[in-house]
Amino acid sequence: MSRLVMLQGGEATPYELDGEEVVLGRLPECDIQLQSNMVSRKHARVVRSANSFVLEDLGSGNGSFVNGKRISEPVTLQHDDRIKLGPVLLRFETDDGEDSSAVKEVVDDAFRFDVTADDASSTIMGTVGATGGFGLLDVQPQAKLKAVLDISRSLVGTHDIDSLLPKVLDSLFEIFPHADRGCILLKEESSGKMVPRVIKHRRESDDDSVKVSRTILKQVLEQKQAILSADAASDARFQASESISALTIRSMMCVPMLSLEGEPTGVINIDTQNPMAQFKPDDLDLMVAVAGQAAMSYESARLLASHVEKQKQDAEMDIARSVQRALLPEEMPHCDGYEFFASYEAAQAVGGDYYDVIELPDGRIVLAFGDVAGKGVPASLVMSRLSSAVRNIVEYVEDPAEAVARINDHMCAKAVEGRFVTFVLVVLNPAQHTFSIVNAGHMSPMIRRASGEVEELDESTVGVPVGVVEGFPFEAAECSLGPGDCAVIYTDGVSEAMNHESELYGLERLREFVAASSGRVLELGPALREDVRRHAAGRPQNDDITVMIFGRTPA
């Protein structure tokens, strides 16, 4: 694939050449519109010719230039050719001409290369050529100290990376008055590659691009070394680098920005084209100090941005917690001769446990109870969907087994893989002291009789969890409640609560505690929750803990 990259205002904007002809000009209908009065309405065009691209001037007033030469005939473009149409600068790129090495020589936002890990410690390496009489950038020690203090002061309190980096280059241009160009590259966390974040030219008329030698960058990143070349054009280390000679770099400094772990997080590069202005080893010392301060400020800005984002997420989770709490009933039913209790504690800000109580017009009371596989935000979203389905179905479907079947079909539609729900639906008839129960893959409720005996329903009455098999035929079991009888429904967050020795609360302890209780619902519920806390002994819960208890008061 080939492209034209527009270099303007410190930015590089690529335009893919995917057609047979691309027209450039001032008119809006041009394929690439150039915003300048010095550009003709239809200034030039790029035509595909077999496997190459040809630039042709369309009789423009100010002409078209390739690599500084005005063209009068169509010219076949080569990789990295510079095109100038009026004041607009463009660069022609083709994938065939790009370097496939780990470190690439690229311009502006097209800059990409891999950072190679290296355990070498960060050192300063200086190669100074014959500089007799060229010491125009000599900086006195007191001036250096002032420069470090000034840049430290300018960066203090700057937490926005986009405003931090230009300040670094501005300070360097003040410290080194003969620096012509500078750029800062930072590591992209997602890809691990270095990308340019800010560039600066001393003269606005300069080409907006900054090209950095891949030879230099490779050594800076791999060896974590700061490099100084007092005469880069004649430096033996960089004689093979085309960019050094092509950009007439006479002297340059390239310094890594190291994180607290000693890994490169960025690179600062400045150079000069003035043969009478040479950077010296003392200048590199100052450059390293500036890079250290910049790296520390960058780390602080990044950590602050992460902290602010975390605060934002926490605030959103607080809202989500409030929304989820609003889906739970505000109060339990008031029914003569009956008591109701429910407790819900999420392991995280939001959870996947669910309960609801719905009083029907005929006096029956529906108690719904569920546990979504998993926890946290994904489980809470499934829980909210289940809550809506239960509310919309049980008020219009009288048979509990049919109601659960419809809830199951609803949850199977557009189900998220692995997000099933174990579910219990109870329809209590206080007038007859009976209830119908449908169990969809949940643990059997414990029914405590007034005598202290604890019963559990037969496993044959347990169906598959909700959201697994569409069209599953659920069955309802019938139970009766005598005076002092109660039923305990719980999630596995209760039975699997662990202490610091990783010992489970366990079903057997739960049965014994229920059997030994007074049988009064409003006493059993809080006492059970406290016993689970006592067992955990301060260990953070690893699952949502939810309990629902209902029963008749003693005679």
pLDDT of residue 190: 76
Tell me the CB-side half-sphere exposure of residue 411, using CA atoms within 13 A.
34
* Residue 408 binned pLDDT confidence (cut-offs 50, 70, 90): very high
Confidence band for 69, pLDDT divided at 50, 70 and 90: confident
pLDDT in tens, 84-110: 998 888 889 887 654 433 333 333 333
pLDDT tens readout for residues 275-320: 677 888 888 888 888 788 778 877 777 777 778 788 888 788 788 7
- Residue 542 is classified by DSSP as S
Judged against a pLDDT cut of 90, whether residue 49 lies above it is answered with no
pLDDT of residue 129: 32
Higher-pLDDT residue of 175 and 390 is: 390
What mean pLDDT is predicted for residues 394-409?
Answer: 93
Write down the pLDDT at residue 482.
94
Q: State the pLDDT at residue 174.
A: 83
Is residue 57's pLDDT more than 50?
Answer: yes
When the pLDDT of each residue in the chain is averaged and rounded to a whole number, the result is 80
Please report the DSSP string for 352-406 in residue order.
SEEEEEEE-TTS-EEEEEEEESS-HHHHHHHHHHHHHHHHHHHTT--SHHHHHHH
Answer yes or no: is pLDDT of 513 > 90: yes
H/E element, 76: strand 75-76
Determine the residue type at 208.
D
Can you give the pLDDT at residue 418? 63
Residue 321 phi/psi, 5° resolution?
A: -60, -45
In this predicted structure, the answer to whether residue 141 has a pLDDT above a threshold of 60 is no
pLDDT given at position 458? 86
Residue 404, C-beta contacts closer than 8 angstroms, at least 6 positions apart:
423, 425, 438, 440, 463, 466, 474
pLDDT score at 528 = 95
Confidence band of 10 (pLDDT split at 50, 70, 90): low
Q: Quick check: 67 pLDDT over 60?
A: yes
pLDDT grade, residue 125 (50/70/90)? very low
Q: Of the candidates 470, 481, 486, which has an alpha carbon nearest to the alpha carbon of residue 548? A: 486
Nearest-angstrom CA–CA distance, 406 and 257: 61
Q: Say which residues have a Cβ less than 8 Å from residue 146's Cβ, sequence separation at least 6.
A: none
Instruction: Report the pLDDT averaged over residues 161-165.
Output: 74
Q: Is the pLDDT of residue 133 over 80?
A: no
Task: Provide the pLDDT confidence category of residue 119 given band limits of 50, 70 and 90.
Answer: very low
Q: pTM for this structure?
A: 0.53
Contacts 24+ apart (CB under 8 A), 530-536: 532/494, 532/497, 532/505, 535/497, 535/499, 535/503, 535/505, 535/509, 536/497, 536/498, 536/499, 536/505
Q: Is 340 exposed, middle or buried (0-12, 13-18, 19+ CB in 10 A)?
A: buried
